[in-house]
Structure 1
């Protein structure tokens, strides 16, 4: 039984359990009054049907492949069964390729026998999985179905199950964040055992060209991340100079001044910018904006005073600023519209003009949402990679010249992890240290934003 057929069967059984549970509650009620609505009895029956099925399906998916592989190892010669893990893994890959008809050439007999055993066990496992999962669903639904009576508090039980489910989702989110943080922190500590943290934080030369293994020759490596931080801040700063005023002014106009018909047309068009793939922005920056900026700089003679390149931080920042305008404008527009109209009416009643009302009443009331939109835009700018690669280059230059080529932290993370890399060398572990710095930077931005909101937010009854 394929997984798609099994999922369809699980869905149909859950629907059937709902109607059976609902019908059972109406049948046993008679002249008595049910403690809950009939639909809650149906939902409770459906939940007790689907939850065991999902649990068993998840456990089966986790352990199924390991058990099949363990059984397939019994078909290998005894000499191979005690082989090193790397050699054994290569043999198992070849056996799986044979089982999936992807192996080219003549295979040894023992590999063919193991592949046939895997195919047979996979078929048996699929059918056994379907039977056990559906049987568990049937038993779960039957237990609740027989227990239904007019006094059963079905609504309380359903709400308790949903409460547990929501708690589980919250715990998964927290544990996922904690796992990401600990994994990055662990690898970063390994990096700082090889490279001093002072060199990483305050060094001005970034050249991670070390050898991947001890038997390789390598040039001198430098892991000073200051040029990466400077490039990230330079490009993100240019982007925010473009995005914040433009997005905020557009939000104010659309929410306070624009006619409703104009707003209904322009707002969706503005939000389309957020849906354009970043690679398209990268092409636009590399093929149009960057050459235009270089030609303008050369035409007015700036190349005599500063370094002007075809890849520049200014080109990447301008295009990135256009890309993140919707993050500021859309959220700001929503929070400005959420400000109660009574506040505006009170301001007008005191003789304030529309512009004074916006500055003194609307903006302070909407400040938390506006700061949140700006913070989201900053995070988006710091994390952008494709536009920087295509428009600003890969050179780690420590410069404040926006016409020069720079790179960012995210670009270097991608560069360090691309290709066949050993995850025990400082060159590769440097990517995790850069990721930790990004995490700390984002945390600091959130901290500053919370204090700004707390200081300037107006409280209204």
Structure 2
């Protein structure tokens, strides 16, 4: 219902804009004084007054509708006031499941009465939402149409609306970020209340298998994150060994050697790599690259695991090539032409100009691209989940399987584990560490790029 109402509001806003445009043009033709705003601003203002208040109401209504319905259903349910919070949540969940037709057992008569009450509330709420949204849209359209006058400052009104929208978007981004950080910090604090801080940050064993139920046999668990972080760094290093030279050399060739026709074809093809989903890279790594690497290692007499750090790191490096190549290309293109010409005028060759002029001048931009790619490599999930392995090892052998922070986060959160045991909470501690590392790399990269932009 909400989606249909949004479409209707969009159509009504377009209709109000067209009507406002026609009225503003007529008044502009008949005006004897200077008109303040162009007709397009009056049209946009009418569309804003028609659609925005009703849309805000729909968003707020959708966010609070279920809560009000649950509160009204529970208020009429016998004995609900004596239940605990968990029992009330379980009861309303059962009522909604029965309302949706998901019958696992025969519901009690009280639950059936609650279902009928919920059904009637949904009908009332639905049409109340339609009535209020239609009223707001009608009042807004009438007001936006009536205020179209010669001297009305429609342009200022539209600009204020856009400004408030940008402020709202910024607040949403900030609140979302704070919510993510606060949830990570809170759950990580719960983890460190159960596991010593020193064991997590300095331990050399990662075996988070502990007993979840009383009748289950399991070890005590070990939560040393160093093997997991070591595997992450090994795979990231292998990925950067593939991505950095390939990306920088391709950027140098496309900028300094390739003709415009070749560049116009190859550069978009290179950018396609950035648009391929990471799950596709993961399938490619586990089905093609990993078996090929294992066969190569066995032919050379080297033991190799089915999942290896080299397979995951190599495929991840291919995925990161567009990031380094694109940013390096922009850095080379931003170097003033006068620096190239001055080098050539002094008798330097193209290779010497690239080594001694372009690379030093574009180095801050290149470093920024490398750091951004490194943060992406550290936070990558799907490729390493499918091709890296699950066993935490501290080994530099690229043919061995290792695990990473993202793999362990996925593994720890899969299953029916209770949410308050150290095994599950360890995922949030790892997530906080990963967030801190990637945030630091992004800040360094942004600072480097900003310094580069200020210089050139």
**TM-score normalised to structure 2 length:** 0.91
Structure 2 Cα separation of the partners of residues 166 and 367 of structure 1: 34
* 2:3 corresponding residue in structure 1: 4
For 1:457 and 1:55, the matched residues in 2 are separated by 39
Aligned equivalents of 2:127 and 2:447: distance in 1?
58
Contact 1:413 1:431 in 2 (8 A): yes
> Hey, what's the Cα distance between the residues in 1 that align with 2:181 and 2:326?
31
Which of 353, 361, 378 aligns to 2:349? It is 353
Larger displacement relative to structure 2 (3-12 or 230-239): 3-12
Which residue is equivalent to 1:403?
Answer: 399
Q: Distance in 2 between matches of 1:319 and 1:415?
A: 21
Per-residue deviation at 1:73? Answer: 2.6
Deviation at 1:370, TM superposition (A): 2.6
Task: Name whichever of 286-295 and 412-421 sits farther off.
Answer: 286-295
Runs of 4+ in 1 over 6 A off after TM superposition: 454-458
Listed as ranges, the matches of 1:287-298 within 5 Å are 287-298=287-298
Cα gap change, 1:171/1:88 in structure 2, threshold over 3 Å: closer, same or farther?
closer
Task: Answer with 317-326 or 15-24: which moved more.
Answer: 15-24
Task: Select between 259-268 and 53-62 the one with higher mean Cα deviation.
Answer: 259-268
Structure 2: segments with no counterpart, 5+ residues: none
CA 1:453–1:32: 2 relative to 1, 3 Å: closer
Residue in 2 that maps onto 1:48: 49
Provide the residue aligned with 1:375 in structure 2.
Answer: 371
Deviations 1:263-320 (A, max 9, x none): 23322332232333333322332233223323333333344xxxx3222211211111
How far apart in 2 are the matches of 1:345 and 1:156?
A: 48
Q: Residues of 2 paired with 1:148 and 1:350: CA distance?
A: 67
Residue correspondence of structure 1 range 188-227 to structure 2 within 5 A: 188-212=188-212, 218-227=218-227
Kept after mapping to 2: 8 A contact 1:191/1:429: yes
- Is 1:13 the counterpart of 2:9? The answer is no
What does the per-residue CA deviation read over 1:336-394, in whole Å, with 9 as the maximum and x for residues that have no partner? 33444454344434433222333344334444443332222212211122222322210
CA distance in 2, matches of 1:240, 1:126: 54
> How far, CA to CA, are the matches of 1:150 and 1:111 in structure 2?
62
1:333 aligns with 2:329: yes
2:183 equivalent to 1:183: yes
| Cα distance in 1, alignment partners of residues 260 and 123 from structure 2 | 61
> Deviation of residue 4 (structure 1)?
3.0
Q: How does 1:41-190 map to 2 (within 5 A)?
A: 41-76=42-77, 78-80=78-80, 82-103=82-103, 106-190=106-190
Between the aligned partners of 2:430 and 2:179, the Cα distance in structure 1 is 17
Structure 1 residue 457: deviation in Å?
7.8
2:409 corresponds to 1:416: no
- Report the CA distance shift for 1:187/1:214 in structure 2 as closer, same or farther (over 3 A): farther
Q: Deviations over 1:124-177 (max 9, x none)?
A: 322221121121122123233333322222212211221121122122212211
For residues 283 and 24 of structure 1, what CA distance do their matches in structure 2 show?
Answer: 59
> Cα distance, 1:81 vs. partner?
5.2
Aligned pair in 2 of structure 1 residues 161, 361: CA closer, same or farther (>3 Å)? farther
Unaligned runs of 5+ in 1: none
C-alpha displacement of 1:227: 0.2
2:392 matched to 1:392? no
Matches within 5 A, 1:302-313: 302-303=302-303, 308-313=304-309
* Alpha carbons of structure 1 residues 89 and 243: separation in structure 2 relative to 1, 3 Å: same
- C-alpha distance in structure 2 between counterparts of 1:401 and 1:432, whole Å: 29
My pick for the range that moved more, 181-190 or 280-289, is 280-289
* Shift in alpha-carbon separation, 1:388–1:8, aligned structure 2, 3 A: closer
Query: Compared with structure 1, are the counterparts of its residues 292 and 147 closer, same or farther at alpha carbon in structure 2 (3 Å cutoff)?
Result: closer
Alignment: residue pair count:
454
Q: CA–CA distance in 2 between the matches of 1:24 and 1:450? A: 49
Tell whether 2:289 aligns with 1:277.
no
For the residue of structure 2 that corresponds to 1:324, the secondary structure is helix
| Cα deviation, residue 75, structure 1 | 4.9
Equivalent in the alignment of 2:258: 258
Match of 1:230 in 2: 230
Correspondence for 2:247: 247
- Whether the aligned pair in 2 keeps the contact of 1:289 and 1:315 (CA below 8 Å) is yes
User: 3-state DSSP class of the match of 1:61?
Assistant: helix
In the alignment, the residues of structure 1 paired with residue 129 and residue 226 of structure 2 have an alpha-carbon distance, to the nearest angstrom, of 55
Give the conservation status (yes or no) of the 8 Å contact 2:368–2:446.
no
Rate the CA distance shift 1:92–1:443 in 2: closer, same or farther, 3 A. closer
1:232–1:382 Cα contact (<8 Å) kept: yes
> What is the aligned-residue RMSD (CA, Å)?
2.5
Q: Distance in 2 between matches of 1:162 and 1:253?
A: 43
Q: Is the 2:274–2:319 Cα contact (8 Å) retained in structure 1?
A: yes
Rounded Cα–Cα distance in structure 1 between residues aligned with 2:334 and 2:409: 40
